[in-house]
Amino acid sequence: MLFKQEKRISRHARGRAKIKGTREIPRLSVFRSSKHIYAQIVDDQKGVTLASISDLKMKKPSNKDMSGKTALAYEVGKTIAKKAVEEMKLSKIVFDKGGRDYHGRVKALAQGARDGGLKF
């Protein structure tokens, strides 16, 4: 019998078999722990991280639609999108949800990245 973590790793491996990031269209990888959320923009051809951000040093925003960790995830998405669009001149990425379901904080991060100007 597989445990939750093993199932998530298996789902992530299946997704990563199909998702590849390039320099022109890099991969936005999301890692969610129980307390924090992290995002990286990765070029898989060279195996380098182009940009990264987490909610570790961010202050809780006063967002009326979302609260707590979901609002922080949205802000992480907006911040990494701003970094990608302005500094790296990217407009399109591939989204890697890391074997997680597309809801809650993962969905909020993706929405923040879209609102920040990224397309996927």
Alpha-carbon span 21 to 112, nearest angstrom: 20
* pLDDT score of 66 more than 90: no
pLDDT at position 57 is 86
CATH number for the domain including 50?
Answer: 3.30.420.100
In a domain, 25, yes or no: yes
Tens-digit pLDDT profile for residues 9-21: 999 999 889 889 8
- Domains of the chain: total: 1
Tens-digit pLDDT profile for residues 96-118: 999 899 999 999 999 999 999 99
What CA dihedral angle connects 46, 47, 52 and 56, to 10 degrees?
-170
The CA-to-CA distance between both ends of the chain, in Å, stands at: 35
Boundaries of domain holding 84: 4-115
In a domain, 120, yes or no: no
